[in-house]
Every structure is written in structure tokens, then in C-alpha cells.
A = this chain, B = another copy of it.
Amino acid sequence: MSHELQELKTHLAELSDINAIAALLGWDQSSIMPAGAGEGRGRQIAYISRLSHEKFTSPTIGRLLDTLQKQAESWNPDSVDAALVRITAKDYAQATRVPVEFVSAFSEHTNHSYMTWAAARPANDFRSVVPVLEKTVELSRQLSRYQGEGAHIADALIDVSDSGMTVATLRPLFTTLRESLVPLVERIVAHAPIDDSALRGPFPIQAQLDYAAKLAERLGYDMNRGRLDTAPHPFCAPLHYGDVRITTRARVDDLGDSLFSVIHEVGHAMYEQGVAKELEGTPLAAGTSSGVHESQSRLWENIVGRSKSFWQHYYPELQATFPAQLGHVSVETFYRAINKVSRSLIRTDADEVTYNLHVIVRFELELELLEGTLAVKDLAEVWQERYQQALGIAPTDDKDGVLQDIHWYAGTVGGAFQGYTIGNIMSAQIYEAALAKDASIAPAIARGDYKPLLTWLQTHLYATGRRYDAPTTFKRVTGQELSIEPYFRYLNSKYAELYSL
């Protein structure tokens, strides 16, 4: 190993510790921190983030990367070291292209925007956020320009979380998806709605959480390197190799919420826990993109967790946990209840069929905002129209409409939503590939044993972390380009049976 490579690794290992510290501060803040600690915690997070940014963007790192990029020309491009230099250089370029003053102006604006939104949402007051959101759009464009733009003004913003993805590839994909989902939803809602009253309980909170924790371990989440807590919004917090935490929530009248929030976060967490230990202490030690990450949360939540075969195995145990509530409910009734499709307004509560329509509406709107073909002041109205077209239902107020999600009000416009749907599309194709490539997976699943599936995913996907960008990772795992067909096959076959289509 060259002297420079060793030096870079030392810097990156220190940075990785700093980022782990920042992640703990954030995890604590979003889960168990007492309310009165907010002011101090804000300062602490700002300090550690600044420290991390300053250390990573230092000229020392830049000089080392310059030298190492030249050295790497003679290395095996598929080696970990070559990937390390490549990915770190890309991160460095992304981080240093943006002037420090812009970063701090944007961050100040984001805080202001968040506070404006937090007040506007309960007051159902879109007008008050219009000037703020207009500025966010302008700053998002500026940010994209700093990154050297792309064929589309959103490309650079998308690339931050979904490296290798562009508007040119995503737009047609999403359009095809929308055009197929709209009629599917119409055919489904033409049938009598599924009765999901079995999920209404009441189910005692602690019993739900205890069962969820047990289920998480059964699926393969390593509690020795993680923990499960409650939080208002479920999330996965990868602190470092030995510590990948998840949170969930539970409602007495909605068993599905705790069950599938946990399985979803377990999917994210098993991906992070599965990154090879040899990548620890480097920027490669993480999931490769938001889309690939979401493919794993959704694979485990939906393809596995909402499948009939899964509950044929686990349902008796769930019944034993809640005998009064589920003792008289058949596994078939339970399976139907957890897969009920309905037109609804809130993205995070949506079923897996309509979910992508929520995302696509947002994706298309943010592209139009960035392009300038849609004005912020018209956004609330256009939101309602698009919901009517895509979901067949429209919010009567902005609180459940354009003010619904935090994303545009606490970050950029552009780049925040596509990962959710990319993940859904990928999940089915990856699952098909796993079944096709390892003959032991399908019979194991028929026995309710998901260990071979997990092992395959660990070996072929999780272990490589950020060594490859999203499209390359996906190609290596599936042997194919991203295609919407497996996802259609999955949805059509599952819902044709559920709704006798």
C-alpha cells in the first residue's frame, strides 16, 4: 500500500468515527432525547457536522486524492482500493464544488423553511410557505449548477442519493409505471374493499413492540449490533459497523403499523449490517444509493413480509401473542387485511400498489418546479389535479396535500423522492434474480425459512457497500438492466389473486 493510500485511510477512518458520533447525536435526537435538550443538541450537531465537512474538504485530502487517482490508473479497477479512491474522489468533488458560503446560506434557509412549514402545516396555510419554497427551488437549481448540472437540471440532485440515475432514464420508467398502475388501481377499487378490521385490535403497545423485536431477530437483524426503540417516525440509523439501530412506532388500533414499520427498517438495517467489515472506516461502508436501500426495505417489508407463505409460517405465533384479538381470525383473512388496497391521501400510509403513484406525482412536480414550467404559487392547485388524475382522489386541504411531506421544506426540491419508487421496482427484480440464481432459496421459503435468501443478499449485494454505483451494483446482483417487468409481474400476480381480477 502506498504511503498516500495509508494516509488517506487514516484520515477517512477518523472521519468515519466523527460521522458515527454525528449519527448517534441524530439517532438520540430523533428517538429518545428529552424535549428540553433540543437547543443544546442543535448546537452539538451543527458543530460535529461542520467538523466533519471541514476535515473532509481539507486541501490535504484533495492533494492525496490527486496523487492517488494517478496511482490508481495502474491498479485493478475492481479492487477495493480503486473503488475507495474513485468514490472518495467523487464525494470530495461533490462536497468541494459548492462554496462554503452557499452551504451555510442554504442550511440557514433550510432551518427557516422547516420552521415556516412546521407552523404552516397545522394551520393549513400554503400561502405562507410560497416565498420560502420559491427560494428553495432557486437554491436547488443553484446547487445543481455547482455540481456541473447534467442533461437535466435535476440530474445532479438525483445523483447525490441515487448515483448513476438521471431524469432521462427515470422519467420514461415512471411514466410507464404510472400508466400501468392507474388502471390496476381502478380494477382493484371496483371490487368490494377488503375487510381489515382484524388489524384494529386493540393491541397492547408493549406486546406489539416485544413481538416486533422478536420478529426482527428472526428475520436476521443482529441485535448484538443494533437495537430497537420507538420514535414518532420509524427510521434506521447506521452509526457504524457494530451499531445499526432501528426505530418503530405502534398504535393500539393498527397492528400493521408496528409490524411493517419494523420489517421495513430491518430491511435497511440488514443491508447496513451486511456491509463487509473490510470496508469499515471508509466511505464505502454504507448502502450504495437511496434506491438500492429502499429495494431492501421494501423487499423485506412487502415481498417477504406481506406474502402468504411468510404468514403461513409466522401467523400461529402472532395468534398466540394476541389470542383474544386474532384467535378467531384465519391466516387468509389476516393476509388479505395486510394487503388491502385503497385510494388515500397520505403517502406514508399508502398500500404498496398506490404508493408509487404518490411518489410519481411528487417526482413529476419537482421536475416541473426546477424546469420552471410550474410556478410555486400554483403548486397547491396542481397537486390536487394530479392526485385526482393519478389516485382518483384529491385532498380538500393543503395540510394533507402539498404540505404533507417534510422533504421539500427541509432540503432541496429535487432528488428526494425517486428512491422510493426505484426501490420498489428493484425489489422485485432482485428477488426474482435471487430465486433464479440460487435453487435453495425457493424451497427454503416454502418452509418459512428466509435465511438462504438473506445469505444470498448479503453475499451478492450487502457486502459490497458503496464499492459500485447503483446501476453497476444492480447489474452485478441481477445480471440485468433495471426493468419494470418483474415488478409488474409481482403486483399483477399478487393482486389478481387477492382481488380475483
Contacts and interface: CB of A to CB of B under 8 A. Distances in A.
A349 interface: no
A119 to B, nearest CB: 22
Contacts of A40: 17, 20, 239-243
Contact of A39 (B32, B39, B43, B242): B242
A239 B32 CA distance: 14
Given A24-B25, A39-B242, A17 B34 contact: no
A119 B460 CA distance: 41
Instruction: State the main secondary structure of chain A at its contact with B.
Output: helix
Interface stretch (A142-150, A169-177, A220-228, A372-380): A220-228
Contacts of A37: 225, 239-240, 242-243
A225 B17 contact: no
A47 B17 contact: yes
A14 B239 contact: no
A17 B36 contact: no
Given A24-B25, A28-B28, A243-B41, A224 B36 contact: yes
A21 B36 contact: no
Contacts of A20: 40, 44
Interface in A106-123: none
A38 interface: yes
A21 B17 contact: no
Contact of A243 (B14, B36, B47, B222): B36
Contacts of A225: 34, 36-37
Contacts of A32: 227
A56 to B, nearest CB: 15
Nearest to A19: B44
A223 B37 CA distance: 11
A64 interface: no
Contacts of A245: 34
Nearest to A39: B242
Contacts of A38: 242
Contacts of A41: 242-243
Contacts of A43: 17
A418 to B, nearest CB: 32
A496 interface: no
Nearest to A38: B242
A14 to B, nearest CB: 7
A48 B34 contact: no
A239 B28 CA distance: 13
A207 interface: no
A226 to B, nearest CB: 6
Interface string A291-321: 0000000000000000000000000000000
Given A33-B243, A37-B243, A242-B36, A44 B17 contact: yes
A39 B227 CA distance: 16
Contacts of A33: 243
Interface string A25-65: 10010001111111111011001100000000000000000
A21 B25 contact: yes
A243 to B, nearest CB: 4
Nearest to A33: B243
Contact of A34 (B34, B47, B226): B226
Contacts of A18: 47
Nearest to A245: B34
Nearest to A47: B17
A241 B42 CA distance: 13
A240 to B, nearest CB: 4
A227 B24 contact: no
Interface in A1-32: 14, 17-18, 20-21, 24-25, 28, 32
Interface string A377-392: 0000000000000000
9 contacts: A17-B44, A20-B40, A21-B47, A24-B25, A32-B227, A33-B243, A34-B224, A34-B245, A36-B224
Lowest 5 A-B CB distances belong to which pairs?
A37-B243, A36-B225, A37-B242, A40-B240, A36-B242
Given A17-B40, A37-B239, A37-B243, 20 more contacts: A17-B43, A20-B44, A21-B21, A21-B25, A21-B48, A24-B28, A33-B243, A34-B226, A34-B227, A34-B243, A36-B222, A36-B224, A36-B225, A36-B242, A39-B242, A40-B239, A40-B240, A40-B241, A40-B243, A41-B242
